Structure 1
Amino acid sequence: MAHDVVRVCFVCLGNICRSPTAEGVMRHLVENEGLAGRILVDSAGTAAYHVGERADPRSRQAARERGIALASRGRQFEDGDFDRFDYVLAMDTENLSNLRALPGADTFEGVLALARDFDAAAPSGADVPDPYYGGDSGFDHVLDLCEAACRGLIDHLRDAGHID
Protein backbone atom coordinates (compact mmCIF):
# COMPACT_ATOMS: atom_id res chain seq x y z
CA MET A 1 0.00 0.00 0.00
CA ALA A 2 1.39 3.36 -0.99
CA HIS A 3 -0.48 5.30 1.67
CA ASP A 4 0.42 6.41 5.17
CA VAL A 5 -3.20 5.60 5.95
CA VAL A 6 -4.85 2.29 5.08
CA ARG A 7 -8.29 2.77 3.53
CA VAL A 8 -10.85 -0.03 3.87
CA CYS A 9 -14.32 -0.30 2.33
CA PHE A 10 -16.75 -3.08 3.29
CA VAL A 11 -19.37 -3.88 0.64
CA CYS A 12 -22.68 -5.74 0.73
CA LEU A 13 -25.80 -5.47 -1.42
CA GLY A 14 -27.82 -2.61 0.07
CA ASN A 15 -25.40 -1.11 2.60
CA ILE A 16 -27.87 -1.23 5.48
CA CYS A 17 -27.03 -4.45 7.38
CA ARG A 18 -23.74 -6.25 6.89
CA SER A 19 -21.34 -3.66 5.49
CA PRO A 20 -22.32 -0.86 7.88
CA THR A 21 -21.99 -3.38 10.72
CA ALA A 22 -18.47 -4.27 9.56
CA GLU A 23 -17.68 -0.57 9.19
CA GLY A 24 -18.93 0.16 12.72
CA VAL A 25 -17.07 -2.80 14.23
CA MET A 26 -13.85 -1.84 12.46
CA ARG A 27 -14.14 1.81 13.54
CA HIS A 28 -14.74 0.65 17.11
CA LEU A 29 -11.68 -1.63 17.07
CA VAL A 30 -9.51 1.00 15.37
CA GLU A 31 -10.40 3.55 18.02
CA ASN A 32 -9.97 1.13 20.93
CA GLU A 33 -6.56 0.03 19.64
CA GLY A 34 -5.30 3.59 19.16
CA LEU A 35 -5.22 3.31 15.37
CA ALA A 36 -7.45 6.28 14.54
CA GLY A 37 -5.85 8.20 11.72
CA ARG A 38 -3.99 5.09 10.52
CA ILE A 39 -6.99 3.15 9.22
CA LEU A 40 -9.93 4.86 7.50
CA VAL A 41 -13.12 2.84 7.16
CA ASP A 42 -16.17 3.16 4.92
CA SER A 43 -18.90 0.93 3.54
CA ALA A 44 -21.04 0.78 0.43
CA GLY A 45 -23.54 -1.37 -1.42
CA THR A 46 -23.36 -2.82 -4.90
CA ALA A 47 -26.99 -1.75 -5.40
CA ALA A 48 -28.60 1.66 -4.90
CA TYR A 49 -31.60 0.36 -2.92
CA HIS A 50 -30.94 2.31 0.28
CA VAL A 51 -28.81 5.33 -0.68
CA GLY A 52 -28.98 7.94 2.09
CA GLU A 53 -30.69 5.63 4.58
CA ARG A 54 -29.39 4.74 8.01
CA ALA A 55 -28.43 1.18 8.82
CA ASP A 56 -31.31 -1.21 9.52
CA PRO A 57 -32.72 -0.52 13.01
CA ARG A 58 -32.05 -4.14 14.03
CA SER A 59 -28.38 -3.78 13.04
CA ARG A 60 -28.13 -0.53 14.97
CA GLN A 61 -29.77 -2.05 18.05
CA ALA A 62 -27.56 -5.16 18.09
CA ALA A 63 -24.46 -3.00 17.67
CA ARG A 64 -25.59 -0.49 20.29
CA GLU A 65 -25.93 -3.36 22.81
CA ARG A 66 -22.19 -3.97 22.31
CA GLY A 67 -21.26 -0.29 22.53
CA ILE A 68 -20.76 0.06 18.78
CA ALA A 69 -22.26 2.96 16.82
CA LEU A 70 -23.48 2.50 13.24
CA ALA A 71 -23.62 6.10 12.08
CA SER A 72 -23.05 5.88 8.33
CA ARG A 73 -25.65 6.39 5.62
CA GLY A 74 -26.18 3.97 2.77
CA ARG A 75 -24.34 4.64 -0.45
CA GLN A 76 -23.59 2.74 -3.62
CA PHE A 77 -20.05 1.68 -4.53
CA GLU A 78 -19.15 4.10 -7.30
CA ASP A 79 -16.67 4.95 -9.99
CA GLY A 80 -13.49 6.02 -8.31
CA ASP A 81 -13.90 3.88 -5.20
CA PHE A 82 -11.24 1.47 -6.43
CA ASP A 83 -8.90 4.48 -6.52
CA ARG A 84 -9.90 5.59 -3.01
CA PHE A 85 -9.39 2.31 -1.13
CA ASP A 86 -6.58 -0.13 -0.44
CA TYR A 87 -8.91 -2.92 0.70
CA VAL A 88 -12.36 -3.52 -0.80
CA LEU A 89 -13.93 -6.34 1.18
CA ALA A 90 -17.18 -7.95 0.11
CA MET A 91 -19.49 -9.53 2.62
CA ASP A 92 -20.37 -12.43 0.32
CA THR A 93 -19.31 -14.14 -2.89
CA GLU A 94 -22.15 -12.67 -4.96
CA ASN A 95 -21.15 -9.11 -4.11
CA LEU A 96 -17.49 -9.99 -4.66
CA SER A 97 -18.43 -11.16 -8.17
CA ASN A 98 -20.40 -7.95 -8.73
CA LEU A 99 -17.40 -5.88 -7.63
CA ARG A 100 -15.05 -7.81 -9.90
CA ALA A 101 -17.30 -6.96 -12.85
CA LEU A 102 -17.14 -3.19 -12.23
CA PRO A 103 -14.95 -0.82 -14.24
CA GLY A 104 -11.66 -0.39 -12.47
CA ALA A 105 -11.63 -3.78 -10.78
CA ASP A 106 -9.22 -5.21 -13.33
CA THR A 107 -6.65 -2.49 -12.63
CA PHE A 108 -7.25 -2.25 -8.86
CA GLU A 109 -3.89 -2.48 -7.11
CA GLY A 110 -5.29 -3.11 -3.66
CA VAL A 111 -6.92 -6.14 -2.09
CA LEU A 112 -10.33 -7.20 -3.42
CA ALA A 113 -11.51 -10.11 -1.29
CA LEU A 114 -14.14 -11.46 1.06
CA ALA A 115 -14.18 -9.88 4.52
CA ARG A 116 -14.09 -13.30 6.16
CA ASP A 117 -10.87 -14.15 4.31
CA PHE A 118 -9.23 -12.35 7.25
CA ASP A 119 -10.93 -14.56 9.86
CA ALA A 120 -8.51 -17.44 10.49
CA ALA A 121 -11.35 -19.59 11.86
CA ALA A 122 -13.55 -19.16 8.77
CA PRO A 123 -13.55 -21.73 5.99
CA SER A 124 -12.24 -20.56 2.62
CA GLY A 125 -14.81 -18.53 0.69
CA ALA A 126 -17.05 -17.98 3.73
CA ASP A 127 -19.81 -15.39 3.48
CA VAL A 128 -21.32 -13.11 6.09
CA PRO A 129 -24.99 -14.13 5.73
CA ASP A 130 -27.58 -11.44 5.11
CA PRO A 131 -29.72 -11.12 8.27
CA TYR A 132 -32.33 -8.86 6.63
CA TYR A 133 -35.17 -11.40 6.39
CA GLY A 134 -34.37 -13.25 9.61
CA GLY A 135 -34.75 -12.68 13.32
CA ASP A 136 -32.72 -10.68 15.79
CA SER A 137 -30.23 -13.50 16.38
CA GLY A 138 -29.03 -13.12 12.79
CA PHE A 139 -27.88 -9.58 13.52
CA ASP A 140 -25.92 -10.76 16.56
CA HIS A 141 -24.34 -13.48 14.42
CA VAL A 142 -23.32 -10.90 11.81
CA LEU A 143 -21.68 -8.84 14.56
CA ASP A 144 -19.72 -11.89 15.72
CA LEU A 145 -18.54 -12.66 12.19
CA CYS A 146 -17.64 -9.03 11.49
CA GLU A 147 -15.70 -8.75 14.73
CA ALA A 148 -13.65 -11.86 13.92
CA ALA A 149 -12.97 -10.62 10.37
CA CYS A 150 -12.05 -7.11 11.52
CA ARG A 151 -9.72 -8.37 14.24
CA GLY A 152 -8.10 -10.61 11.65
CA LEU A 153 -7.75 -7.69 9.25
CA ILE A 154 -6.02 -5.58 11.90
CA ASP A 155 -3.66 -8.49 12.62
CA HIS A 156 -2.99 -8.81 8.88
CA LEU A 157 -2.25 -5.08 8.57
CA ARG A 158 0.20 -5.32 11.47
CA ASP A 159 1.88 -8.45 10.09
CA ALA A 160 2.21 -6.81 6.66
CA GLY A 161 3.80 -3.71 8.22
CA HIS A 162 0.99 -1.35 7.19
CA ILE A 163 0.37 -0.31 10.80
CA ASP A 164 2.39 -0.48 14.01
Structure 2
Amino acid sequence: MAAQLPKSVPFVCLGNVCRSPIAEAVFKKLVTDQNISDNWRIDSATTSTYETGNPPDYRGQNCMKKHDIPMNHGAQQLTKEDFDYILCTDESNLRDSNRKGSEVKNCKVKIELLGSYDPQKQLIIEDPYYGNDSDFETVSQQCVRCSKAFLEKSQ
Protein backbone atom coordinates (compact mmCIF):
# COMPACT_ATOMS: atom_id res chain seq x y z
CA MET A 1 0.00 0.00 0.00
CA ALA A 2 1.41 3.39 -1.01
CA ALA A 3 1.98 6.00 1.65
CA GLN A 4 -0.60 8.76 1.62
CA LEU A 5 0.75 12.18 0.67
CA PRO A 6 0.23 14.84 3.31
CA LYS A 7 -2.59 17.31 2.77
CA SER A 8 -1.38 20.86 2.26
CA VAL A 9 -2.87 24.07 3.58
CA PRO A 10 -1.56 27.62 3.70
CA PHE A 11 -3.48 30.17 5.77
CA VAL A 12 -3.70 33.52 3.99
CA CYS A 13 -4.07 37.16 5.05
CA LEU A 14 -3.03 40.53 3.67
CA GLY A 15 0.43 40.92 5.24
CA ASN A 16 1.20 37.46 6.69
CA VAL A 17 2.30 39.00 9.98
CA CYS A 18 -0.91 38.86 12.09
CA ARG A 19 -3.81 36.56 11.26
CA SER A 20 -2.31 33.90 9.00
CA PRO A 21 0.81 33.16 11.11
CA ILE A 22 -1.49 32.81 14.14
CA ALA A 23 -3.73 30.42 12.18
CA GLU A 24 -0.66 28.49 11.00
CA ALA A 25 0.73 28.19 14.54
CA VAL A 26 -2.63 27.16 16.00
CA PHE A 27 -3.22 24.50 13.33
CA LYS A 28 0.34 23.12 13.66
CA LYS A 29 -0.13 22.79 17.42
CA LEU A 30 -3.49 21.10 16.94
CA VAL A 31 -2.17 18.43 14.53
CA THR A 32 0.97 17.97 16.65
CA ASP A 33 -1.12 17.41 19.79
CA GLN A 34 -3.19 14.84 17.88
CA ASN A 35 -0.04 13.11 16.59
CA ILE A 36 -1.01 13.61 12.94
CA SER A 37 1.52 16.24 11.84
CA ASP A 38 2.93 13.81 9.24
CA ASN A 39 -0.46 14.01 7.50
CA TRP A 40 -0.19 17.77 6.92
CA ARG A 41 2.01 20.35 5.19
CA ILE A 42 1.08 23.62 6.90
CA ASP A 43 2.15 27.16 6.06
CA SER A 44 0.89 30.71 5.84
CA ALA A 45 1.26 33.40 3.22
CA THR A 46 0.36 36.88 2.08
CA THR A 47 -1.50 38.03 -1.01
CA SER A 48 0.61 41.23 -1.06
CA THR A 49 4.27 42.18 -0.91
CA TYR A 50 3.97 44.66 1.99
CA GLU A 51 5.58 42.57 4.72
CA THR A 52 7.57 39.93 2.80
CA GLY A 53 10.41 38.61 4.97
CA ASN A 54 9.16 40.20 8.18
CA PRO A 55 8.50 38.19 11.36
CA PRO A 56 5.00 37.92 12.83
CA ASP A 57 3.74 40.99 14.71
CA TYR A 58 5.13 40.98 18.26
CA ARG A 59 1.59 41.13 19.71
CA GLY A 60 0.67 37.94 17.87
CA GLN A 61 3.89 36.32 19.06
CA ASN A 62 3.10 37.33 22.64
CA CYS A 63 -0.42 35.96 22.31
CA MET A 64 0.89 32.61 21.05
CA LYS A 65 3.50 32.46 23.87
CA LYS A 66 0.71 33.05 26.39
CA HIS A 67 -1.06 29.94 25.04
CA ASP A 68 2.17 27.88 24.73
CA ILE A 69 1.83 27.72 20.95
CA PRO A 70 5.15 27.78 19.08
CA MET A 71 5.40 30.33 16.27
CA ASN A 72 8.24 30.53 13.78
CA HIS A 73 7.50 32.24 10.49
CA GLY A 74 8.65 34.91 8.06
CA ALA A 75 6.09 36.60 5.81
CA GLN A 76 5.99 35.19 2.28
CA GLN A 77 3.79 35.50 -0.77
CA LEU A 78 1.26 32.87 -1.74
CA THR A 79 2.73 30.80 -4.57
CA LYS A 80 1.08 29.11 -7.52
CA GLU A 81 1.93 25.75 -5.96
CA ASP A 82 -0.88 23.23 -6.00
CA PHE A 83 -2.42 22.93 -2.55
CA ASP A 84 -5.32 20.89 -1.24
CA TYR A 85 -6.81 23.85 0.62
CA ILE A 86 -6.20 27.59 0.90
CA LEU A 87 -7.88 29.12 3.94
CA CYS A 88 -8.32 32.90 3.85
CA THR A 89 -9.12 35.32 6.65
CA ASP A 90 -11.38 37.72 4.73
CA GLU A 91 -13.09 38.31 1.37
CA SER A 92 -10.24 40.37 -0.08
CA ASN A 93 -7.76 37.53 0.53
CA LEU A 94 -10.31 35.06 -0.83
CA ARG A 95 -10.60 37.07 -4.09
CA ASP A 96 -6.82 37.36 -4.44
CA SER A 97 -6.32 33.65 -3.70
CA ASN A 98 -8.99 32.67 -6.22
CA ARG A 99 -7.21 34.82 -8.81
CA LYS A 100 -3.92 33.06 -8.00
CA GLY A 101 -5.68 29.68 -8.17
CA SER A 102 -7.05 30.46 -11.62
CA GLU A 103 -3.44 30.80 -12.85
CA VAL A 104 -2.76 27.13 -11.99
CA LYS A 105 -3.66 24.70 -14.75
CA ASN A 106 -6.29 22.17 -13.59
CA CYS A 107 -6.30 23.73 -10.12
CA LYS A 108 -8.16 21.47 -7.70
CA VAL A 109 -7.46 23.47 -4.57
CA LYS A 110 -10.39 24.24 -2.28
CA ILE A 111 -10.13 27.99 -1.60
CA GLU A 112 -12.40 29.22 1.17
CA LEU A 113 -12.73 31.41 4.23
CA LEU A 114 -11.23 29.95 7.40
CA GLY A 115 -14.18 31.55 9.20
CA SER A 116 -16.60 29.35 7.24
CA TYR A 117 -15.62 26.63 9.74
CA ASP A 118 -16.37 28.76 12.82
CA PRO A 119 -19.07 27.14 14.96
CA GLN A 120 -19.84 30.66 16.25
CA LYS A 121 -20.45 31.80 12.64
CA GLN A 122 -17.83 34.60 12.71
CA LEU A 123 -17.11 34.42 8.99
CA ILE A 124 -14.43 37.12 8.84
CA ILE A 125 -11.28 37.13 10.94
CA GLU A 126 -10.71 40.85 11.38
CA ASP A 127 -7.20 42.23 10.98
CA PRO A 128 -5.87 43.15 14.47
CA TYR A 129 -2.92 45.15 13.09
CA TYR A 130 -4.29 48.53 14.17
CA GLY A 131 -5.83 47.10 17.33
CA ASN A 132 -4.56 46.01 20.70
CA ASP A 133 -3.67 42.78 22.53
CA SER A 134 -7.33 41.82 23.00
CA ASP A 135 -7.84 41.96 19.22
CA PHE A 136 -5.00 39.46 18.80
CA GLU A 137 -6.60 37.26 21.45
CA THR A 138 -9.89 37.39 19.50
CA VAL A 139 -8.04 36.28 16.35
CA SER A 140 -6.37 33.47 18.31
CA GLN A 141 -9.67 32.17 19.68
CA GLN A 142 -11.32 32.32 16.25
CA CYS A 143 -8.39 30.41 14.75
CA VAL A 144 -8.64 27.73 17.45
CA ARG A 145 -12.39 27.23 16.84
CA CYS A 146 -12.04 27.25 13.05
CA SER A 147 -8.96 25.00 13.01
CA LYS A 148 -10.64 22.35 15.15
CA ALA A 149 -13.73 22.33 12.93
CA PHE A 150 -11.67 22.34 9.72
CA LEU A 151 -9.54 19.43 10.94
CA GLU A 152 -12.63 17.40 11.83
CA LYS A 153 -14.16 17.95 8.38
CA SER A 154 -10.96 17.35 6.41
CA GLN A 155 -9.90 14.01 7.91
Residue 88 of structure 2 corresponds to residue 90 of structure 1: yes
User: Which 5+ residue runs of structure 2 have no aligned equivalent?
Assistant: none
Q: Distance in 1 between matches of 2:127 and 2:72?
A: 19
What is the aligned length?
A: 151
Q: What's the offset of the Cα at 1:155?
A: 0.4
Contact 1:20/1:72 (8 A) holds in 2: yes
Q: Distance in 2 between matches of 1:72 and 1:31?
A: 17
The C-alpha deviation readout for 1:12-47, integer Å capped at 9, x for no partner, is: 000000000000000000100111110111000000
TM-score by length of 2: 0.92
Q: Which residue of 1 aligns with 2:108?
A: 109
Alignment of 1:12-161 (within 5 A): 12-78=13-79, 80-81=80-81, 83=82, 85-102=83-100, 103-104=102-103, 107-122=106-121, 126-158=123-155
Contact 1:131/1:142 (8 A) holds in 2: yes
Q: Distance in 1 between matches of 2:8 and 2:117?
A: 16
Q: SS at 1:37's partner residue?
A: helix
Q: What's the offset of the Cα at 1:120?
A: 2.8
Q: SS at 1:131's partner residue?
A: coil
The C-alpha deviation readout for 1:88-135, integer Å capped at 9, x for no partner, is: 011101110111222426842021000111223315xx1100000011
Q: Percent identity between the aligned chains?
A: 30
TM-score by length of 1: 0.87
Q: Distance in 2 between matches of 1:128 and 1:22?
A: 10
Q: Which residue of 2 aligns with 1:161?
A: none
Q: What's the offset of the Cα at 1:146?
A: 0.4
Q: Distance in 1 between matches of 2:104 and 2:114?
A: 17
Q: Does the C-alpha gap of structure 1 residues 11 and 89 become closer, same or farther in structure 2, counting only changes over 3 Å? A: same
